[in-house]
Amino acid sequence: SQQGEEDPQALSIQEGENATMNCSYKTSINNLQWYRQNSGRGLVHLILIRSNEREKHSGRLRVTLDTSKKSSSLLITASRAADTASYFCATDNNNDMRFGAGTRLTVKP
């Protein structure tokens, strides 16, 4: 069963704008991970944030984690058309990985 719930389900922005996606979960976690999926392909790991971390950066990606609110956000800055994809959060608790339904991001050139 799914645990992470992404919000919004779909997001459409112009190239150059920032995109923010949110993820909420229900149970305790060891870490939370964000993945990207291009249509019809496998998922690609983007970033992992551990339960004792609050913020993490990787290039144009910024992830925050608030364990008190059981939520995380993924910010993509200065978006590009190539960022168009579905983005999933996944909670990890002792080898039990649970994925959300994803946010479909469209970046218009």
Partner 1 sequence: SQTIHQWPATLVQPVGSPLSLECTVEGTSNPNLYWYRQAAGRGLQLLFYSVGIGQISSEVPQNLSASRPQDRQFILSSKKLLLSDSGFYLCAWSGGEGQPQHFGDGTRLSIL
Which residues sit at the interface with partner 1, rule CB under 8 A? 1-2, 4, 30-31, 33, 35, 40-45, 48, 50, 88, 90, 92, 94-102
Would you give the DSSP letter of residue 27? S
Nearer to partner 1, 31 or 77 (CB): 31
Give the CA distances from residue 61 to residues 1, 36, 97, in Å, rounded to whole numbers and listed in that order: 27, 12, 22
**Rounded least distance, CB 4 to partner 1, Å:** 8
- Residue written as token pair 């976690």: 29
**Rounded least distance, CB 94 to partner 1, Å:** 7
Nearer to partner 1, 15 or 22 (CB): 22
Sign of the alpha-carbon dihedral angle for 7, 75, 59, 15: positive
Nearer to partner 1, 19 or 35 (CB): 35
Q: How far apart are CA 81 and CA 29, in angstroms?
A: 33
**Rounded least distance, CB 35 to partner 1, Å:** 8
